[in-house]
Structure 1
Amino acid sequence: MGHRGKTTSTATTSTPRKTRLVGIDAARGLALIGLAAIHILPAFDPDTFSPTTQWTLFAGASAAVFALLAGVGLAFTSGGRIPHQGPAMTATRVALFVRAVLIASLGFGINGFMPSPTPAVGILVYYGVFFLLAIPFLHFSAKMLFGWAGFFALAGPVLVHILRDALPAYESASPTFIDLATAPGATLAQLLLTGTYPALPFLAYLLAGLGLGRLDLGEIQVQAILLLVGAGLAVSAWLIYWVLILQAGGYDQLMAHTPALSEEQIDEIITWGPDPTLPTTTWWWLLIPGPHTNTPIAVLQDLGTGVAVLGAFLLLTRAGKAWALPLAAMGSMTLTLYSAHLLALATEVHYDQRLLWFLVHLGVAVVFALVWHKTLGQGPLERLVARAAATTRRLVLSPGHRKP
């Protein structure tokens, strides 16, 4: 989270690098606000029991945007539009491995402080796995990365559907070091396939972002295409669901093959997500949307949303970036702010005054990010992880290390 990196300057780039990065960081800042809203604010209206606006906008989508933008950050740190080659790519891969281990370790540690039942399922451990799985893809072109993203958008959910019932069940929604030590198989299955943010389906977001980072994101044509294509992808995914499930008999198939669930319970899965996992009684389940269902439809819908959000923020920050500075400041240090947010949730003081505590989380994050960013630049946890990665790169590229 919170990756920043250099982009490759070219003669055709019409927008300066800082403006381009402000748009990316601002989109990441919005995703952070979305996660905080989902964790703290009510998911439904107590009078009508309908989903709240924040749930409709951010549930599932915020995590997808984070993963997409993490891929963009990986593209920047691995060469931008022209991927590193030779020893430079080797150093980049090893540095990413170190970064992944550090972020996963931070996530395991924070999860150890979370009460049970957890007030929020942390994504940091999953992030570490995302980065580990991305290492073999760092040298690919944008076209190849988009192809692989499409592959994982389909193959990831299919593997989850096929293997879920055969894999060991996990004990904790937020795995800890203890879970890793006592049940490594269940923890690995959770991180790859059965958890809230399974790495194999989520590779679709990461690799798509990596491909986007290989493009010239400063070009207004590219930005407009991202907005239009992203919106089109999201709408198309929903239309597929509408046609096949709601109009062509798919919903009846869900009911026929899953008699243990009522119509109301099926609607709840589509609206609120599975609890804890999506049924595997029929392949028709793979055609529903819904937060954390991780079906091909849900992945494509959230992927399209993320791409559209990125394109929109890149376009909106072309003319001016002052309005986006609070969002961008938060987006530049999401690893720090997200970690602090989870630790604050672990105190469980937010349940009685949800709106108040959401505003407290948001206000502290904005003030801290603006002051720290203006005075010290990179966020504290981001700086530690970046230094470790940079040191690793230097060691790998040092002449002594490369001698046979």
Structure 2
Amino acid sequence: MVLGLILNILNSEVAVILDYYGVMFLLIAPVLFVPRWTLGLGAAVLLVGAPMLAAALNGAGPTMQPLAALVRGYFLTGDYPALMFLPFLLVGLIAARSDLGRAKTQFWMIAGGVLAAVLGYGAAYVLPGLTARAHSGSTVEILGSGGFALAVIGTLLWLTARERGRVGQVLRAVFWPIGATGSMALTVYTLQIILLAVAVAVRDNFDTIHYPGWPLLLGMTFGSLVFVSLWRRFHGKGQLERGLAFATREPVSRAKARARARSHDAEPEPKIQNR
């Protein structure tokens, strides 16, 4: 959240998502280990309820107090409202807890994702008054885009599985730069926001760069893939990922130690048998 607020200060002309992510992670933390059916129920309730609540509150803008308006923005009406994005996180958590390496999990991700995408985008196409426009925050847009993402991830997992043999090995090599980018997404995202802020400054002061534009987009994309591939190969984790790991290592170690101590205390004393 702090990093997101800092990046928002920069004039990158990008709607930064990191502070919204922070709110989403705080909301999802208490349910990390609840049963999967509970996660699914929560995702379904938010899928329908969050857009309805946002629509109901949309007319209350000018009369709201600043704090209430800030909370409403982060939860319901901002660029990446937490309650509307939580269904993505909850379904992703269900998939992750179902073992992403299993063919059965991959099959259900593909099948369920395709079904959700067809229902969401199909409903918007057939029924008047419904829109699946990107970031519209409608139920059909969340269902359609979330289903599409789930199906793509499931398909890539299936294609690159070790069970695919030589084909899987080749595809893992082809997609390795993308995997490397995902492994240090926070670092890459932050560097790209800084780069875009520089591009805006150059455009505004010297008028020597076209922003936004395809040359900048393609150059930044290709450059990022090359940079992260080399960094991942020779240095491992990204710098910001290392920082987060360092910041959480000690609390996690203490939590694991407490869990081991409780487990040890709960173990029954061994019985001594006389021979």
Q: TM-score, normalised by structure 2?
A: 0.82
More helix by proportion, 1 or 2? Answer: 2
AA partner of residue 153 (structure 1): L
- Alignment partner of 1:381 is 2:224: no
Query: How far does residue 144 in structure 1 lie from its aligned partner after superposition?
Result: 1.7
Residue segments in structure 1 that go unaligned for 5+ positions in a row: 1-103, 171-181, 251-286
> Aligned equivalents of 2:173 and 2:80: distance in 1?
34
- Alignment partner of 1:310 is 2:193: no
Q: Does the 8 A contact of 1:336 with 1:382 survive in 2? A: yes
Query: How far does residue 223 in structure 1 lie from its aligned partner after superposition?
Result: 1.0
Q: Which residue of structure 1 aligns with residue 50 of structure 2?
A: 156
**Per-residue CA shift, 1:229-248, capped at 9, x if unaligned?**
20111011122223321xxx
- Alignment partner of 1:340 is 2:191: yes
AA partner of residue 111 (structure 1): N
The correspondence for 2:37, drawn from 127, 135, 143, is 143
Q: Which residue of structure 2 aligns with residue 111 of structure 1?
A: 8
Q: Which residue of structure 2 aligns with residue 323 of structure 1?
A: 174
Query: How far does residue 184 in structure 1 lie from its aligned partner after superposition?
Result: 3.6
> Aligned equivalents of 2:28 and 2:223: distance in 1?
33
AA partner of residue 229 (structure 2): L
Q: Which residue of structure 2 aligns with residue 25 of structure 1?
A: none
The correspondence for 1:236, drawn from 92, 100, 119, is 119
- 1:3-402 pair list within 5 angstroms: 104-114=1-11, 119-167=13-61, 183-245=66-128, 250=129, 287-318=130-161, 319-320=168-169, 321-347=172-198, 348=200, 349=203, 351=210, 354-398=213-257
Question: Percent identical across equivalent pairs?
Answer: 32
> Aligned equivalents of 2:36 and 2:238: distance in 1?
29
AA partner of residue 74 (structure 2): L
Query: How far does residue 190 in structure 1 lie from its aligned partner after superposition?
Result: 1.1
Residue segments in structure 2 that go unaligned for 5+ positions in a row: 162-167, 204-208, 263-275
Query: How far does residue 300 in structure 1 lie from its aligned partner after superposition?
Result: 0.3
Query: How far does residue 183 in structure 1 lie from its aligned partner after superposition?
Result: 4.3
Query: How far does residue 166 in structure 1 lie from its aligned partner after superposition?
Result: 1.6
1:183/1:133 Cα in 2 relative to 1: closer, same or farther (>3 Å)? same
Q: Does the 8 A contact of 1:205 with 1:303 survive in 2? A: yes
Query: How far does residue 353 in structure 1 lie from its aligned partner after superposition?
Result: 7.5
AA partner of residue 304 (structure 1): G
The size of the alignment, in residue pairs, is 244
> Aligned equivalents of 2:104 and 2:87: distance in 1?
24
Q: Which residue of structure 1 aligns with residue 206 of structure 2?
A: none
> Aligned equivalents of 1:353 and 1:288: distance in 2?
26
Q: Secondary structure at the match of 1:294?
A: coil
> Aligned equivalents of 1:352 and 1:233: distance in 2?
35
> Aligned equivalents of 1:356 and 1:134: distance in 2?
38
Query: How far does residue 167 in structure 1 lie from its aligned partner after superposition?
Result: 4.2
1:330/1:224 Cα in 2 relative to 1: closer, same or farther (>3 Å)? same
> Aligned equivalents of 1:300 and 1:353: distance in 2?
29
Higher relative contact order (CA 8 A, sep 6+): 1
Q: Does the 8 A contact of 2:95 with 2:105 survive in 1? A: no
Q: Secondary structure at the match of 1:360?
A: helix
1:336/1:144 Cα in 2 relative to 1: closer, same or farther (>3 Å)? same
1:199/1:169 Cα in 2 relative to 1: closer, same or farther (>3 Å)? farther
> Aligned equivalents of 2:89 and 2:140: distance in 1?
17
Q: Does the 8 A contact of 1:121 with 1:196 survive in 2? A: yes
Q: Which residue of structure 2 aligns with residue 69 of structure 1?
A: none
Q: TM-score, normalised by structure 1?
A: 0.57
Considering only CA atoms, is the larger Rg found in Structure 1 or Structure 2? 2
AA partner of residue 119 (structure 1): E
